[in-house]
Amino acid sequence: MASLITCPHCGTRPKEEFSIRGAAAPKRPSATAKDEDWHRYVYVRDNPKGRYQEYWHHVAGCRRFLVVDRDNLTHEVFGVTDASDFERARTAG
Amino acid sequence: MSINLLQRHVLEDHISGFETDPNPNHLAVVRRPVIFSVLAHAGHEAAVAEALKAASDLAPRFCGPSEWLAVSQTVGAETIGGLLSNIPGASFADQSDGKVLMTISGPSVRKILAKCVAVDLHSDVFAEGDSANMLCCHVAANVARTGADTFEIIVPRSFAGSVFDELMEMGREHALTRGFSD
């Protein structure tokens, strides 16, 4: 169930401990990127149905940003990673 | 009558009136604990964790990756500060005035905490010596198991009153008593 998130640092926790901070898939443009890129990053977001990667901040726990890979239709959670590991894997791959 | 305002505990008004003998289920508030927050520098995480575990007079409480609370009820802040400054790769800050330490113990402690915490506290999952940050009575607290039926809860000072009142409310059916531990 999506209301239980298994934090890689703290273990299984209720969703009340987290703050959802939006989609993790869009890549942040560089500081010198064009205004169009920033506009697209800040305002033009997809609203997908189904599997979805999202930033969750563990506010009441370890206070780390996590990336929760979940299905927003069935509430199934496929995986939770620390956001720094997620970013490292994305830049490496 | 003289009142020492410097030593006044934030829960003093919540623990007023007559003092009863403690029941088996008891909530003890530690009057002057020493609580430091400790952060490990990048690359020193494992070494600092080891040093904290090995240190005497000090109980490390896990907060998050490379972050702990160092708690002591036996020695003063200067001793703990000196001890922590000898650990290479660690930064620390004294939080004693900003945190309140409560110890809840008794045979019904898990039944009481089940109404305050949405985390499995069974000893198979949360064993003696384990600690973690979690929501306790809607407040981000650090909960540690220090014995089979003993838990220590560290909450921010400004939330201590509300957490204390809610713990007492949840412990009412189990005849939970309260008092300062010293």
pLDDT digits 0-9 by tens, B33-76:
999 999 999 999 999 999 999 998 999 999 999 999 999 999 99
Pairing of strands A4-7, B67-72: unpaired
Q: CA A63 → CA A18, A92, B52, B101, B158, distances in Å? A: 9, 25, 21, 21, 19
Indicate whether B18 and B67 sit together in one domain: no
From the list A14, A16, A64, the residue facing B64 with the nearest CB is A64
Between A17, A63, A82, which is nearest B134 by CB? A17
Question: How much of chain B, in percent, has pLDDT values that exceed 70?
Answer: 97
The ipTM value here is 0.85
Q: What is the pLDDT of residue B3?
A: 61
Within 13 Å and on the Cβ side, how many CA atoms surround B101?
22
- Among A11, A14, A62, the residue with its CB nearest the CB of B64 is A62
Are B174 and B105 in a shared domain?
yes
CATH of the domain at A20: 3.30.2270.10
Residues B83 and B25 in one domain: no
**Per-residue model confidence as pLDDT tens digits over B119-133:** 999 999 999 999 999
> Binning pLDDT at 50, 70 and 90, where does residue A1 land?
very low
CA-nearest residue to A14 within chain B is: B118
- For chain B positions 140-179, those within 8 Å of chain A (CB to CB) are 140
* Set of chain A residues whose Cβ sits within 8 Å of the Cβ of B119: 11-14
The amino acid that residue B55 corresponds to is A
Mean pLDDT for A41-54 is: 93
Residue B42 has a pLDDT of 93
**B4 has pLDDT over 90:** no
Distance CA(B26)–CA(B177), nearest Å, equals 5
**Class of residue A5 by CB neighbours under 10 A (exposed 0-12, middle 13-18, buried 19+):** buried
> Do B171 and B106 belong to one domain?
yes
Q: Cβ(A21)–Cβ(A65) under 8 Å?
A: yes
Give the CATH number of the domain where residue B57 resides: 3.30.70.920
Tell me what the pLDDT averaged over chain B comes to: 92
Residues in chain A: 93
Q: Are B91 and B169 in the same domain? A: no
Q: Does B133 touch chain A (CB under 8 A)?
A: yes
Give B136→chain A minimum CA distance, Å: 9
Residues B83 and B158 in one domain: no
In chain A, the number of structural domains is 1
Burial of A68 (0-12, 13-18, 19+ CB in 10 A): buried
Alpha helices in chain B (DSSP H): 45-54, 77-85, 109-113, 160-170
Q: Residue B118: which of A16, A59, A82 has the nearest Cβ?
A: A16
Q: Which chain A residue has its CA at the smallest distance from B143's CA?
A: A61
**In this structure, is residue B2 part of a structural domain?**
no
Q: Tell me the average pLDDT across B165-171.
A: 95
Closest chain A residue by Cα to residue B62: A62
Let me know whether B106 and B167 are in one domain: yes
Q: Which sign does the torsion angle of CA B161, B117, A78, A92 carry? A: positive
Amino acid of residue B74: T
Q: Is the pLDDT of residue B101 over 50?
A: yes
Is A62 close to B140, i.e. CB distance below 8 A? no
- pLDDT score for B52: 95
Q: Work out how many domains chain B is built from and give that number.
A: 2
Which domain CATH number covers B120? 3.30.1360.120
Q: What pLDDT does residue A92 have? A: 87
Q: Among B97, B123, B139, which residue terminates a domain?
A: B97
A73 alpha-carbon distance from chain centroid:
16
Show which of B51, B67, B97 is a domain's final residue: B97
Task: Say if residue B121 is in the same domain as residue B167.
Answer: yes
DSSP state of A80: E
Q: Does some domain include residue B1?
A: no
Q: Which of residues 63-92 of B touch A (CB under 8 A)?
A: 63-65, 67
Domain region containing A18: 4-92
Residues B27, B49 within the same domain: no
> Does B106 lie in the same domain as B172?
yes
Please tell me the distance from the alpha carbon of residue A27 to that of residue B43, in angstroms, as a whole number.
27
Whether residues B16 and B46 share a domain: the answer is no
Last residue of a domain, one of B69, B97, B125: B97
B68 with B24, same domain? no
- How much is the pLDDT for A2? 47
CB B63 within 8 A of CB B133: yes
SS3 B45: helix
Q: Can you give the residue range of the structural domain that contains B64?
A: 34-97
pLDDT over 50 (residue A67):
yes
